[in-house]
């Protein structure tokens, strides 16, 4: 068609420059500058919290493409993660405690199943006085009643107290009658033994007294070689103190004959020794004779009185 005529049916109309510059119809693409201005007006102030629904109400970006959105972090997420970490730490700690408790229980059970070793106490030596042991003894000259002295030592006896050699731990007393035909010498000795490291057993004071008692008994039954003391006739005295015996010896020296009765009794750590000498025959003077049974009875009576004073 020539200029000015109507368009032909098969031709396509091309938009002119006026169409490109004309206003955009409603529903078409929006002007970027206008969108930016509108977004600045609708954005909330920075110091205010944007409501959660605002993010979902925003329009899609230009081009209409489906762009994945970042999911908003739920409220309390940090607290939940901290709690999870605490639970994990608690579980690890509890597991460690269970392991340790199991190991301890295993050791206890294994130890209990084994026989306990015998108790060993190094340095078990006793160096102090034990209950019932005496540190001092009474005055030997006052342990025998006057009636007993008069009964077994008739006449006027001369009393002498030898000087003590162990302080208050020892006391001795002598009664002497020297008037023909009677000669008597009664000796009473009380000695409290102290703990001694050389004693047998634990070295206690009682063990020291046991050793002294046993040594005297042995010497009387079997005197050492070249000893002037004769073998004694020994009789044990059960029920008297903790240990007791009586002995009879006959000494013959220079033609004189002297009978000696001895009673020894131990009470805890104290040893009481009583000896009674009676001249049976003498080369000078007219002494004798002597009743050996009478000597033994007198020694036993003095020993009973001395031992009773320790209680």
State the pLDDT at residue 54: 46
The encoded tokens of residue 290 equal: 């002597």
State the pLDDT at residue 131: 96
The string of DSSP codes covering 53-74 is HHHHHSPPPTT---PPPPPPPP
State the pLDDT at residue 255: 85
- pLDDT (mean) for 54-80: 49
Distance between CA atoms of 218 and 212, rounded to whole angstroms? 10
If one compares 52 and 249, the residue with the highest pLDDT of the two is 249
Domain boundaries, the chain: 140-308
Average pLDDT over the chain, rounded to whole? 76
Non-local CB neighbours of 258 within 8 Å, separated by 6+ positions: 250, 251, 277, 278, 279, 280
State the pLDDT at residue 15: 44
pLDDT band at 8 (very low <50, low <70, confident <90, very high): very low
State the pLDDT at residue 207: 97
pLDDT band at 300 (very low <50, low <70, confident <90, very high): very high
Instruction: Give the strand pairing for 233-236 and 270-281.
Output: unpaired
198 closest CA partner among 208, 189, 188? 208
CA 238 and chain centroid, separation: 40
- pLDDT (mean) for 247-264: 95
282 closest CA partner among 249, 250, 258, 251? 258
Q: Output the furthest CA–CA distance in the chain (Å, rounded).
A: 203
State the pLDDT at residue 248: 98
Distance between CA atoms of 292 and 51, rounded to whole angstroms? 131
State the pLDDT at residue 195: 97
Q: Of the given ranges (37-51, 149-163, 173-187), which has the lowest mean pLDDT?
A: 37-51
Dihedral, 103, 118, 131, 204 alpha carbons, nearest 10: -140
State the pLDDT at residue 93: 60
pTM of the model: 0.61
- pLDDT (mean) for 28-43: 46
Non-local CB neighbours of 40 within 8 Å, separated by 6+ positions: none
Chosen CATH of 140-308 out of 3.40.1000, 2.40.360, 3.30.730, 3.90.550: 3.40.1000
If one compares 24 and 298, the residue with the highest pLDDT of the two is 298
If one compares 169 and 43, the residue with the highest pLDDT of the two is 169
pLDDT band at 162 (very low <50, low <70, confident <90, very high): confident
pLDDT band at 65 (very low <50, low <70, confident <90, very high): very low
Distance between CA atoms of 232 and 248, rounded to whole angstroms? 5
State the pLDDT at residue 173: 97
Distance between CA atoms of 302 and 173, rounded to whole angstroms? 11
pLDDT band at 164 (very low <50, low <70, confident <90, very high): confident
Question: What confidence tens digit (pLDDT) does each residue in 202-253 have?
Answer: 999 999 999 999 999 999 999 998 888 999 999 999 999 999 999 999 999 8
Q: Of the given ranges (105-109, 117-121, 285-289), which has the lowest mean pLDDT?
A: 117-121
The encoded tokens of residue 283 equal: 């080369």
160 closest CA partner among 140, 179, 137? 140
Q: Of the given ranges (34-48, 136-150, 283-297), which has the lowest mean pLDDT?
A: 34-48
């Amino acid at each position: 068609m020539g200029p000015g005529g109507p368009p032909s049916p098969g031709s396509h109309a091309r938009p002119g420059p006026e169409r490109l510059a004309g206003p955009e119809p409603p529903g078409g693409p929006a002007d970027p500058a206008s969108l930016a201005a509108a977004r600045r007006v609708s954005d909330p102030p920075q110091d205010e919290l944007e409501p959660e629904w605002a993010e979902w109400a925003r329009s899609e970006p230009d081009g209409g493409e489906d762009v994945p959105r970042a999911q908003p972090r739920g409220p309390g997420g940090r607290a939940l993660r901290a709690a999870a970490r605490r639970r994990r730490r608690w579980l690890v700690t509890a597991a460690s405690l269970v392991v340790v408790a199991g190991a301890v229980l295993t050791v206890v059970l294994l130890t209990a199943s084994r026989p306990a070793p015998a108790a060993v106490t190094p340095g078990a030596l006793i160096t102090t006085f034990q209950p019932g042991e005496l540190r001092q003894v009474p005055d030997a000259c006052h342990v025998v009643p006057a009636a007993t002295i008069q009964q077994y030592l008739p006449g006027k006896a001369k009393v002498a107290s030898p000087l003590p050699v162990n302080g208050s731990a020892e006391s001795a007393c002598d009664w002497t009658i020297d008037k023909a035909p009677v000669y008597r010498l009664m000796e009473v000795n009380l000695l409290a033994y102290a703990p001694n490291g050389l004693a047998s057993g634990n070295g206690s004071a009682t063990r020291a007294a046991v050793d002294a008692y046993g040594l005297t008994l042995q010497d009387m039954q079997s005197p050492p070689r070249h000893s002037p003391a004769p073998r004694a006739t020994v009789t044990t005295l059960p029920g008297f103190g903790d240990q007791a015996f009586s002995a009879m010896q006959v000494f013959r020296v220079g033609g004189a004959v002297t009978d000696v009765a001895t009673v020894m009794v131990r009470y805890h750590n104290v040893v009481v020794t009583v000896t009674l000498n009676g001249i049976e025959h003498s080369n000078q003077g007219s002494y004798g004779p002597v009743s050996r049974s009478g000597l033994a009875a007198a020694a036993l009576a003095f020993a009973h009185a001395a031992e009773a004073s320790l209680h």
